């Protein structure tokens, strides 16, 4: 099959699109950065791509809420096209602000509504960090199960986070249980030995291991098919081993931990 084509969707305020495109290219994909206005003008261009990625940044300055404006554009104008994109067995990835967008657009955990006027209560959201501040640090992560295409074969990762609204909160306790039982809570914060600590009843690790206070230590979630993934950490910022904060001390491996996510996406279409 020809090299998989990746659409990196950018908007005013997006600031990780170049790095994300580079990561996909390093993995063997053909990435193109496309402005949201172009997609709104020509929604059919989505059919030319196999992978859609909404990268990190501050789309529209997060003026209303993180990712809300871009999410509304997607929900109200691109629902049909994204629904077809997903139905065709293609892949969708949302990183940090992109995760926020996918959640609020109803692409990740909701079925995309048939009518733009529909606005169902989402099963979960991403809200302000418990610390009340922007968190910029490296975190240890572990993968739960094998549901996500992007996380195939990965068990542990060390990646940076950089966000103020990254706390994953479910609509209610029943919804959180439903998502966990469906194996959709695929990425969790943990300690460096990947052993969760803290209160065994609520299964939460303490700050700063869990940098935002997410329920169940959730750092990433997939849809029911495993082909749509949203995560708060930035895999595109740990592609090369020299991006590891302690690489001069011999830490890290032959490649950055984030690279495998992009390799998996490209390999899925080969």
pTM of the model: 0.94
Q: Residue 120 pairs with which residues in a beta bridge?
A: none
Q: Which active-site residues does the annotation give? A: 96, 234, 236
Residue 218 has pLDDT above 60, yes or no: yes
Q: How far is CA 5 from CA 73, 90, 143, 237, 270, in A?
A: 23, 11, 26, 21, 12
Structure tokens at 224: 């029911």
Residue 76 in 3-state DSSP? helix
Per-residue buried b or exposed e for 233-267, using 16+ beta carbons within 10 Å of the residue's own CB: bbbbbbbbeebbeeeeeeebeeebbbbbbbbbbbb
> Is the sign of the CA dihedral 66, 68, 73, 78 positive or negative?
positive
Q: How far is CA 196 from CA 62, 177, 202, 267, in A?
A: 32, 18, 11, 31
Confidence band for 270, pLDDT divided at 50, 70 and 90: confident
CATH number of the structural domain 5-268: 3.40.50.880
Are 27 and 263 in contact by the 8 Å Cβ rule? The answer is yes
Encode pLDDT of 35-78 as tens digits: 999 999 999 999 999 999 999 999 999 988 999 999 999 999 99
């Amino acid at each position: 099959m020809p090299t998989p084509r990746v659409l990196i969707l950018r908007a005013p305020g997006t600031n990780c699109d170049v790095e994300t495109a580079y990561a996909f290219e390093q993995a063997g994909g053909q990435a193109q950065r496309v402005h949201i206005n172009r997609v709104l003008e020509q929604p059919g261009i989505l059919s030319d791509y196999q992978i859609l990625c909404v990268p990190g940044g501050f789309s529209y300055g997060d003026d209303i809420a993180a990712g809300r404006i871009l999410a509304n554009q997607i929900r109200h104008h691109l629902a049909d096209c994204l629904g077809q994109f997903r139905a065709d067995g293609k892949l969708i990835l949302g990183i940090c602000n992109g995760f926020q967008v996918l959640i609020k657009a109803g692409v990740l955990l909701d079925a995309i509504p048939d009518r733009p006027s529909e606005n169902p209560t989402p099963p979960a959201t991403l809200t302000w960090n418990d610390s009340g501040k922007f968190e910029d640090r490296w975190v240890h992560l572990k993968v739960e199960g094998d549901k996500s295409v992007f996380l195939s074969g990965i068990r542990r990762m060390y990646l940076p986070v950089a966000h103020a609204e990254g706390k994953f909160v479910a609509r209610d306790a029943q919804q959180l249980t439903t998502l966990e039982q469906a194996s959709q809570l695929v990425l969790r914060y943990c300690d460096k030995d990947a052993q969760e600590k803290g209160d065994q009843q609520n299964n939460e690790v303490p700050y700063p291991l869990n940098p935002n206070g997410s329920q169940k230590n959730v750092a990433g979630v997939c849809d029911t098919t495993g082909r749509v993934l949203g995560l708060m950490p930035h895999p595109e910022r740990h592609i090369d081993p020299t991006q590891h904060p302690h690489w001069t001390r011999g830490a890290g491996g032959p490649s950055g931990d984030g690279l495998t996510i992009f390799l998996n996406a490209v390999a899925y279409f080969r």
